[in-house]
Chains A and B, each alone.
Chain A
């Protein structure tokens, strides 16, 4: 592999971030927009070149995809345990390169239209470049520690971009919430990393992931509270991944993160950063699978399945379209997680792994498209809320068509992208665990329902009163949408099994007709119900909601999770734990230090007269001292 080219994929966004960041005020907005787009274009082309080289030219030897690593030593602790900085090229990192660069490029182009006239235009592009750089670093990381470094960097750029409208109190609160919740999860990740460093003795992915390597072979060597130490480490690492990927119960930051500009939601909170958790599990997949017969992997599967169902239920009742999409993202991430959780390792058993990566790819396309569509609608209507929208299909034909394509794709209607990946996931779940399969089918139906609920709500129904007649977005915004619509249609036909598998040997994933039929049936049922409820304004939906009673109320309140967190944080953590500690700190720790300081001041007040400033006093003390020493040395010196 040609690493000199690959390093530029990272360096270009980095350079643009520095350029735009340092010369923020001096660069004209138009220039910074073009600079951002051109830089990303270069990165994207290099990414595609790398992918072509890897998948079609020199990636394989003996029918097995090879892993290429180029690294440099950074900090050394022992022979095997050291921090490196490096680049790792293998199927999933190359696939992520494609996803990140493609979506990022589209979002850059879109932002030129969407952010037009905004005060912090240059700053916005600088942050986008920072994010893209960090994300590249994350997917190309050659060891766990480097991945952690970039993991935090994407967290920071996410924080900066959520809080982009920093004059809005809710945006600031959302940014803080996102940062604190993910940071809290990252504590688990960090402890997991340290545990791995201690028990496996290395951070290198090559050694950790080798099924015959020391780390995996010796997993049973140490145990802690009934489980292997490495299993604990993996569970802790999964907590970090769950925080980033908004898995239950660490999901509360994602819906609030929608306070950021819509292109940011599309790029970071739908397509790239939030899949970092999935990517992390996929990156360490051999460890998850082999250590303790996949105990940690089962946790991944159940958490994923539960999150998928949980989020899909909440998404049904949300009235803010961006929040519906946020919960939908969480639900689809749960899908990817459960697919990883039910996957095996060798050959056809690795269907779940391949399906998860496939879904990651297709989901990035259609979910980014849904967000860009939502952004375009926001741009025209100036409101997030479903009640302010209706009948927009006549005013915004391109947005309407692309949104419809994305909605069909996420609902799993053949032959669009979502159908193929969802089918593979459900097939993998069916073979492995019937309960998870049933949850998966249920979620497929709910997904179709909630997405068509907002689709009908936005584009059909009665026209609302608008401040001015909604207009179709400019070309800079519609072009990325059209491109992603094309991807949403065609991405499903990529034979993913040829490129990305758990054991890196290609296999052919057949289509599973009976399972596909069930999933499509569930999806179409969701669409039909949504059509009945929301095609025309009617009270059918409200009546139906009433039959659910308390459950409906809970769902609208998102099962009170924000309140529970607030209760735990404020009532218990702040009042019961933090406040007494703060009091102790103020009274005793600070008190002691202040007393020492005060005493010093008092003493020096007393003795400062000794420093009179009169030269002769000093001279006298000096001479007296000399005479004293002379006398002492004459009479007391032992001869």
Chain B
């Protein structure tokens, strides 16, 4: 609960953050940038968890604890994604999304 700031304002900020992430995910050409965009999407949802918990159910803790879970899972996911990207680089000497098209075959 932050004095002087309403829940709508914070949710607007996280929505913007979320769509920035979506936009980046769809338009970036570099796999690393796409991974960063995904991180933005994660963070938007984590903030949402915490804010909704604090503003609507101040006595409960589930939202906060769940956000910690999400951070842990996001970390694991990033590690996985980076290792995949490294492998792709070794195979194709490129981290461009368009070069990964060949994987559909």
Using CB atoms and an 8 Å cutoff, list the residues of chain A in contact with chain B: 611-616, 619-620, 623
Binary CB contact string for chain B from 88 to 105 against chain A (1 if under 8 A, 0 otherwise): 000000000110111111
For residue B42, CB closer than 8 A to chain A, the reply is no
A487 to B67 alpha-carbon distance, docked (Å): 97
Closest 5 CB pairs of A and B: A613-B104, A613-B101, A620-B26, A616-B26, A619-B26
- Does the CB pair A613–B26 fall under 8 Å? no
- Does the CB pair A612–B101 fall under 8 Å? yes
A614 to B34 alpha-carbon distance, docked (Å): 13
For residue B6, CB closer than 8 A to chain A, the reply is no
Contacts of A611 on B, CB cut-off 8 Å? 104
- Contact residues of B: prevailing secondary structure: helix
Number of B residues with CB within 8 Å of any CB on chain A: 13
Interface centre among B25, B26, B103 (most CB of A within 10 A): B26
- Does the CB pair A614–B101 fall under 8 Å? yes
Minimum CB–CB distance from B103 to chain A (whole Å) comes to 7
Contacts of A616 on B, CB cut-off 8 Å? 25-27, 34, 97
- Does the CB pair A613–B27 fall under 8 Å? no
Minimum CB–CB distance from B91 to chain A (whole Å) comes to 15
Contacts of B104 on A, CB cut-off 8 Å? 611-613
Contacts of B97 on A, CB cut-off 8 Å? 614-616
| A-B CB contact pairs (8 Å), 25 listed | A611-B104, A612-B101, A612-B104, A613-B100, A613-B101, A613-B102, A613-B103, A613-B104, A613-B105, A614-B97, A614-B98, A614-B101, A615-B34, A615-B97, A615-B100, A616-B25, A616-B26, A616-B27, A616-B34, A616-B97, A619-B25, A619-B26, A620-B26, A623-B22, A623-B26
A532 to B69 alpha-carbon distance, docked (Å): 113
Contacts of B102 on A, CB cut-off 8 Å? 613
Find residues 48-84 in chain B having any chain A CB closer than 8 Å to their own CB.
none
Of all chain A residues, the one with the shortest Cβ separation from B105 is A613
Using CB atoms and an 8 Å cutoff, list the residues of chain B in contact with chain A: 22, 25-27, 34, 97-98, 100-105
A623 to B98 alpha-carbon distance, docked (Å): 20
Minimum CB–CB distance from A601 to chain B (whole Å) comes to 18
Contacts of B98 on A, CB cut-off 8 Å? 614
Minimum CB–CB distance from A360 to chain B (whole Å) comes to 71
Of all chain B residues, the one with the shortest Cβ separation from A613 is B104
Contacts of A614 on B, CB cut-off 8 Å? 97-98, 101
Interface centre among A611, A616, A619, A623 (most CB of B within 10 A): A616
Contacts of A615 on B, CB cut-off 8 Å? 34, 97, 100
Of all chain B residues, the one with the shortest Cβ separation from A614 is B101
Of all chain B residues, the one with the shortest Cβ separation from A627 is B22
A341 to B100 alpha-carbon distance, docked (Å): 84
Minimum CB–CB distance from A107 to chain B (whole Å) comes to 62
Contacts of B105 on A, CB cut-off 8 Å? 613
A620 to B34 alpha-carbon distance, docked (Å): 13
Minimum CB–CB distance from A616 to chain B (whole Å) comes to 5
Of all chain B residues, the one with the shortest Cβ separation from A612 is B101
Of all chain B residues, the one with the shortest Cβ separation from A615 is B97
A611 to B101 alpha-carbon distance, docked (Å): 10
Contacts of A619 on B, CB cut-off 8 Å? 25-26
Contacts of A612 on B, CB cut-off 8 Å? 101, 104
A611 to B25 alpha-carbon distance, docked (Å): 18
Contacts of A620 on B, CB cut-off 8 Å? 26
Of all chain B residues, the one with the shortest Cβ separation from A621 is B26
A613 to B26 alpha-carbon distance, docked (Å): 14
A620 to B26 alpha-carbon distance, docked (Å): 6
A623 to B24 alpha-carbon distance, docked (Å): 13
A612 to B98 alpha-carbon distance, docked (Å): 10
Contacts of A623 on B, CB cut-off 8 Å? 22, 26
Minimum CB–CB distance from A334 to chain B (whole Å) comes to 71
Interface centre among A611, A612, A613, A614 (most CB of B within 10 A): A613
A616 to B97 alpha-carbon distance, docked (Å): 8
A614 to B97 alpha-carbon distance, docked (Å): 7
A620 to B27 alpha-carbon distance, docked (Å): 9
A623 to B21 alpha-carbon distance, docked (Å): 12
A448 to B26 alpha-carbon distance, docked (Å): 100
A623 to B101 alpha-carbon distance, docked (Å): 20
A616 to B25 alpha-carbon distance, docked (Å): 7
A615 to B104 alpha-carbon distance, docked (Å): 10
A619 to B41 alpha-carbon distance, docked (Å): 13
A285 to B103 alpha-carbon distance, docked (Å): 74
A612 to B103 alpha-carbon distance, docked (Å): 11
Known: A612-B101, A619-B25. 11 other contacts (CB 8 A): A613-B100, A613-B102, A613-B104, A614-B101, A615-B97, A616-B25, A616-B27, A616-B34, A616-B97, A620-B26, A623-B26
A612 to B102 alpha-carbon distance, docked (Å): 10
A615 to B95 alpha-carbon distance, docked (Å): 13
Contacts of A613 on B, CB cut-off 8 Å? 100-105
Minimum CB–CB distance from B32 to chain A (whole Å) comes to 14
Of all chain A residues, the one with the shortest Cβ separation from B25 is A619
Contacts of B22 on A, CB cut-off 8 Å? 623
A374 to B24 alpha-carbon distance, docked (Å): 93
Minimum CB–CB distance from A613 to chain B (whole Å) comes to 3
Of all chain A residues, the one with the shortest Cβ separation from B102 is A613
Minimum CB–CB distance from B62 to chain A (whole Å) comes to 25
A41 to B103 alpha-carbon distance, docked (Å): 67
